[in-house]
């Protein structure tokens, strides 16, 4: 079973989509997917669905949702959930013939044809029965009942959120090792797994909101580190449009503003770099009563004094994030 939560919820098993339409069933599937192979306690599921004060009927209602989810899985795995999986035995009919050459051969041929048809029919029915029997069994095995909870018996490799985390971590490690090209490639591959905001079409309770926020923070950090790597590779011109959009979406993010300032400066657009700083400082002062971070203030001063260290990307040396170029 493969599940995507980095964007719209999508799940499939044996290539067949399994995405429940009911809101609470989708919540259960998403929360179980974020704990692959590990039981999620009933109490956690109840709080996710109904908050800290679940109704008296919560336990039985939760069991109903689990049953519906298993039925969806069983249908995708080959048979309706709850089918008996029994077959009616059909005996082969033995035909008798009267003596007679041609008549006997004709009758025997017809008998052979009938037996072949019966055999094919029995084989088809056996396959259908097997599907009915294995579908529910596989669904119960896939969505299992654990100690005081439920779990999806899948590996982390089958959930896109965990694939993203592994690829992003490899990218962060490559950046720390000074391999900007590899870091940029790995982080781009990790970010390509995102098809929209995490759990964008799932109604989220307390637990899912925390998971979604953590994933979005990891996504932003991976984006920032990719931009750092690509700025070190001298790709400031190619990054300008993206950075303008990112600073618009994150108007108080000082790290993104530092990257945008450096990109504009290296592209020969010093005035726009300084304008970005003034706009950020105004927002921070007016809305939060704060001055920009010391690193950003020193970056601003370096641009005003046309510090030659800003002119060219740093291909070698210590792999410093753009925001920390002028750290104390």
Give the DSSP per-residue string, 53-76. S--TTHHHHHHHHHHHHHHHHHHH
Question: What integer is the mean pLDDT of 129-134?
Answer: 49
| Alpha carbon distance 77, 132 (integer Å) | 9
* Average predicted confidence (pLDDT) for the chain: 85
- More confident call, 96 vs 252: 252
pLDDT of residue 309: 85
Question: What integer is the mean pLDDT of 292-297?
Answer: 96
| Alpha carbon distance 29, 199 (integer Å) | 11
pLDDT of residue 78: 72
pLDDT of residue 316: 55
pLDDT of residue 129: 43
pLDDT of residue 81: 53
- % of the chain at pLDDT higher than 70: 81
pLDDT at 27 over 80: yes
Write the CA distances from 174 to 177, 186, 230, integer angstroms: 5, 8, 13
- More confident call, 84 vs 51: 51
pLDDT of residue 108: 47
pLDDT of residue 116: 45
Tokens of 158: 């089958």
Could you give the count of Cα atoms lying within 13 Å of 235 in the half-sphere of its Cβ? 16
pLDDT of residue 268: 94
* Stretch among 10-14, 218-222, 269-273 having the lowest mean pLDDT: 10-14
pLDDT of residue 89: 30
* Stretch among 1-10, 138-147, 218-227, 268-277 having the lowest mean pLDDT: 138-147
The answer to whether the CB of 70 falls within 8 A of the CB of 140 is yes
| Alpha carbon distance 223, 247 (integer Å) | 12
pLDDT of residue 327: 86
pLDDT of residue 85: 36
Question: What integer is the mean pLDDT of 152-159?
Answer: 95
pLDDT band, very low/low/confident/very high, at 283 (cuts 50, 70, 90): very high
pLDDT of residue 39: 95
Nearest alpha-carbon partner for 50 in 75, 70, 24 = 24
pLDDT at 112 over 80: no
pLDDT at 111 over 60: no
Question: What integer is the mean pLDDT of 119-124?
Answer: 46
* Stretch among 136-140, 190-194, 282-286, 288-292 having the lowest mean pLDDT: 136-140
pLDDT of residue 94: 34
| Alpha carbon distance 81, 200 (integer Å) | 29
pLDDT band, very low/low/confident/very high, at 317 (cuts 50, 70, 90): low
pLDDT at 292 over 80: yes
pLDDT of residue 97: 37
Nearest alpha-carbon partner for 5 in 211, 167, 160 = 160
DSSP letters along 13-57, please? ETTEE----SHHHHHHHHHHHTSTTSPEEHHHHHHHHH-SS--TT
Nearest alpha-carbon partner for 93 in 110, 108, 109, 111 = 111
pLDDT of residue 328: 72
- Tell me the per-residue pLDDT of 169-180, one tens digit each, with 9 for 90 and over: 999 999 999 999
- Tell me the per-residue pLDDT of 53-92, one tens digit each, with 9 for 90 and over: 999 999 999 999 999 999 988 888 875 655 433 333 333 3
């Amino acid at each position: 079973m493969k599940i995507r939560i980095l964007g719209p919820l999508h799940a499939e098993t044996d290539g067949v989509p399994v995405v429940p339409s009911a809101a609470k069933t989708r919540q259960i599937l998403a929360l179980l997917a974020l704990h692959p192979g590990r039981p999620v306690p009933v109490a956690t599921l109840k709080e996710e669905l109904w908050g800290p004060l679940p109704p008296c009927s919560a336990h039985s209602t939760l069991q109903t949702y689990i049953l519906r989810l298993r039925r969806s899985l069983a249908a995708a795995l080959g048979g309706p959930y709850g089918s008996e999986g029994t077959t009616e035995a059909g005996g082969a009919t033995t035909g008798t013939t009267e003596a007679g050459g041609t008549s006997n051969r004709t009758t025997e041929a017809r008998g052979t044809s009938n037996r072949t048809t019966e055999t094919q029919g029995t084989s088809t029915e056996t396959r259908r029965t097997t599907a009915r029997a294995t579908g529910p069994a596989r669904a119960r095995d896939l969505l299992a009942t654990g100690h005081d909870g439920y779990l999806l018996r899948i590996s982390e490799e089958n959930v896109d959120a965990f694939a993203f985390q592994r690829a992003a971590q490899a990218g962060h490690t490559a950046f720390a090792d000074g391999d900007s090209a590899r870091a940029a490639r790995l982080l781009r591959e990790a970010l390509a797994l995102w098809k929209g905001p995490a759990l964008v079409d799932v109604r989220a309770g307390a637990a899912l909101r925390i998971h979604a926020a953590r994933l979005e923070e990891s996504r932003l950090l991976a984006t920032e580190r990719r931009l750092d790597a690509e700025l070190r590779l001298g790709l400031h011109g190619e990054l300008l449009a993206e950075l303008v959009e990112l600073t618009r979406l994150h108007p108080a993010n000082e790290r993104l503003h530092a990257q945008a300032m450096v990109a504009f400066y290296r592209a020969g657009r010093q005035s726009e770099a300084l304008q970005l700083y003034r706009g950020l400082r105004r927002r921070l002062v007016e809305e939060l009563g704060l001055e920009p971070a010391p690193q950003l203030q020193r970056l601003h001063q370096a641009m005003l004094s046309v510090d030659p260290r800003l002119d060219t990307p740093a291909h070698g040396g210590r792999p410093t994030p753009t925001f920390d170029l002028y750290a104390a």
